[in-house]
Amino acid sequence: MNAQKGFTLIELMIVVAIIGILAAIAIPAYQSYIAKSQVTRAVAELGALKTAYEDCLNNGQTATNTCQIGWTGSNIQKLLIPASVAVKTSAPTNAGTALSTTGAIEGQFDATNGGASSTLNNKKVQWNRTASGTWTCTTDADSKYAPVGCPVGGTVS
């Protein structure tokens, strides 16, 4: 009698089913991880502009044409200038900000033309400056994606 070699069809089907179950669990968890890391990245990218913003204020440069805060663009978000600070724009090449003692630096996720996660499309991250110079971060992304230092905070303009 010949000895059988290899796997039976039922054994192969069980392995495929197990791989399918593991993939069904892992793929959504990975997508959530990517979205959370992109929000954290956006907070850091926009937070880096706070120093230039403060430098412009300290040097008395408060008009759009005299102060560029150094936005170089991002593949997951576009810079937005809130209406309370200057005319809102989404063009990263026109990132000069009319500065005042209060203001904001805001970015919006772009999943259509950028590399942002689709769950973050058109969500925003905003750094707000008070008149005393304190910066606070807020976002309108889902709370499960918001980092500890940038909670979900009502309406982000």
3 is a domain residue: no
Among the residue ranges 18-32, 88-102, 124-138, the one predicted with the least confidence is: 88-102
Report how far residue 98's alpha carbon sits from residue 21's, in angstroms, rounded to the nearest whole number. 53
71 is a domain residue: yes
pLDDT reported for residue 1: 64
39 is a domain residue: yes
Q: Is the pLDDT of residue 86 over 60?
A: no
Q: Is the pLDDT of residue 85 over 70?
A: no
- Cβ burial of 141 (10 Å; 0-12, 13-18, 19+) is buried
pTM of the model: 0.74
Residue appearing with tokens 């008395």: 60
Q: 19-68: per-residue pLDDT in tens?
A: 999 999 999 999 999 999 999 999 998 888 888 888 877 777 765 556 77
157 is a domain residue: no
pLDDT reported for residue 93: 38
Report how far residue 54's alpha carbon sits from residue 39's, in angstroms, rounded to the nearest whole number. 23
156 is a domain residue: no
pLDDT reported for residue 139: 92
Domain membership of residue 40 as a residue range = 9-145
154 is a domain residue: no
Report how far residue 94's alpha carbon sits from residue 116's, in angstroms, rounded to the nearest whole number. 21
Q: Which residues partner with 129 through β-bridges?
A: 103, 135
CATH code for the domain of 117: 3.30.700.10
131 is a domain residue: yes
Q: How many domains does the chain have?
A: 1
Q: What are the two backbone dihedrals, phi and then psi, of residue 138, each rounded to the nearest 5 degrees?
A: -140, 160
**Which pLDDT band holds residue 71 (cuts at 50, 70, 90)?**
confident
4 is a domain residue: no
